[in-house]
Amino acid sequence: MQLSEILSAEGVRLVGAASSKKRLFHDLGELAETCYGLDATRVVEALLEREALGPTGVGQGIALPHARLEGLKKVSGLFLRVEKPLDFDSVDRQPVDLVFALFAPASAGVEHLKALALVSRTMRDASICAKLRANSDPSTLHAILTESETTQAA
């Protein structure tokens, strides 16, 4: 599995600011509806349900919200770079500016975990995060996220 299989170029956005985690989830819901035809309200509900189990802010300004959804055919992702970092109840209490959301079919087993591990590994790479923070063009952000596959394969 590669990030280019999960993340479409249309699923990458720069967000000026989000007033709250819930508002950010609404932005993700709208983007999931646009990119993957998912019901925005259901996406927001699923993200909030998952977040209630424990915050998905993993530290160092990164959040990995994720949810399982009925009607989804394959694991799909969205990436947001938030220009004005927001509180995400992260483990290190630092505000979040890089958000990689992952959605899996309700019936997905190991594929969901593999995708989450791949995203987590990618977002733990300090050089990738530095490049993401230094760029604001969505196509450049997508290229940064998916280019590591080709360099690792070589």
Residue 106 dihedral angles phi and psi, to the nearest 5°: -55, -30
Kindly tell me the sign of the dihedral angle through the C-alpha atoms of 105, 99, 137, 143.
Answer: negative
Residue 134: give its domain's CATH number.
3.40.930.10
Predicted confidence band of residue 152 (pLDDT cuts 50, 70, 90):
very low
The contacts of residue 110 (CB under 8 Å, 6+ apart) are: none
Exposure string of 99-111, with b = 16+ CB inside 10 Å and e = fewer, is bbbbbbbeebeee
Instruction: Please name the residues in contact with 107: beta carbons below 8 A apart, sequence gap of 6 or more.
Output: none
Residues 94-118 have pLDDT tens digits of 999 999 999 988 887 788 788 888 8
Sign of CA dihedral 146, 136, 8, 123: positive
In the DSSP assignment, the letter for residue 40 is H
Over 90: is that where the pLDDT of 43 sits? yes
Q: What is the CB-side half-sphere exposure of residue 4 using CA atoms within 13 A?
A: 8
pTM above 0.95, yes or no: no
Catalytic pick from 26, 66, 112, 142?
66
Our count of domains for the chain comes to 1
Q: What pLDDT score was predicted for residue 108? A: 74
Range of the domain at 85: 3-153
Q: Identify whether 66 is a catalytic site residue.
A: yes
Tens digits of per-residue pLDDT, 57-91?
888 899 999 998 887 888 999 999 999 999 888 88
| 85, 151 Cβ separation under 8 angstroms | no
Per the DSSP assignment, residues forming a β-bridge with 101 are 78
Q: Report the distance separating Cα 92 and Cα 110, nearest Å.
A: 28
User: Tokens 């609404």 label which residue?
Assistant: 26
Q: At what angle do helices 138-153 and 126-134 cross, to 10 degrees?
A: 160
Q: Which two tokens stand for residue 137?
A: 């063009």
